[in-house]
Structure 1
Amino acid sequence: MHAAEMAEEYPVVELDSDALDAARLLAERRLPGLVVTDKTGCPQSVLPASQVVQFLIPNYVRDDPSLAGVLNESMADRVADKLAGKTVRSLLPEKATELPRVSSDDTIVEVAAMMARLRCPLVAVMEGKTLLGVVSASRLLELALAPH
């Protein structure tokens, strides 16, 4: 099976898309991350859902999780406020997660190897400079575990 056959349509956001909209998309569709493109639609990175969660937690709590107990539940109510006016670009880590790219004719083993090497739950399937779709880790496992 080739990557083009495994690829599925997947939500894509631009670097300058609204961060709150991106977070809502992650939450509503329960996605592990979003593909981030430039204005031309060329995949640039992946925005992991875990990165959005990390953005919401104050630095002092990230540094010392035992301090999480001092926060009350109203902090969760301010999630939307913290993301308001921000872009997807501002949520990406300084060292943005590289979006693995594979060619449409790559095999399932080649796709798995790329995903494993970069420890990324998403792989962009490219035909030249065109994004055909995405293979998620769950999709890859579904196909790998299917009876042949």
Structure 2
Amino acid sequence: MHAKQMAEEFPAVDIDSDALAAARLLAEHGLQGLVVTKGPGCPHAVLPAASVVAFLVPRYIQDDPSLAGVLSESAADRIAEKLAGRTVRELLPDHPPELPVVQSDDTVVEVAATMARLRCPLVAVLESGELIGVITAPRLLEHALR
């Protein structure tokens, strides 16, 4: 089986799109991440849901989680406001890691190796340099365990 056969349609967002809308897309569809594009069909990065969560939680709380208990519920309710007026670009690291991408004719093992090496829950599938779909870790396991 090749990557093209495992690839499925998957939401992608442009790098300059609204960060709050991207976060809602992640939440509403229970996604582990989103492909971030720079122009139609041109993948640039993967935005893991965990990175959005990290953006929302103040650094001092990440450094000392025991401080989270001192925040009031009203502060927690306002945490999403941090995304207002931001773009997806601002959620990405300054130097994004290697783009998790495979070619349409890559095998299950090649896809698994890329996903494992980059520790990414999804990979973009390219054909002739254009995004044709995504393979998620659950989808890969579904095919690998048959």
> CA RMSD, aligned part only?
1.1
Q: Offset at 1:22?
A: 0.1
User: How many angstroms does 1:64 deviate by?
Assistant: 1.0
Runs of 4+ in 1 over 2 A off after TM superposition: none
Cα deviation code 1:17-63 (max 9, x no counterpart):
00000000000001000000002431010111001101111111011
Written as runs of structure 1 = structure 2, the 5 A alignment for 1:84-123 is 84-123=84-123
Report the alpha carbon displacement of residue 93 of structure 1 after superposing the two structures with TM.
2.0
Q: Is the 8 A contact 1:35 1:99 kept in 2?
A: no
Count of equivalent residues: 146
Match of 2:26 in 1: 26
Identity %: 68
Question: What TM-score, normalized by structure 1, do the two folds share?
Answer: 0.94
Structure 1, unaligned runs of 5 or more: none
C-alpha distance in 2 between matches for 1:53 and 1:75: 15
What does 1:57-136 correspond to in 2, within 5 Å?
57-136=57-136
Q: Report how far residue 78 of structure 1 moved.
A: 0.9
Structure 2 gap ranges (5+): none
Alignment correspondent of 1:37: 37
TM-score, with length taken from structure 2: 0.95
CA–CA distance in structure 1, aligned partners of residues 41 and 5 of structure 2: 21
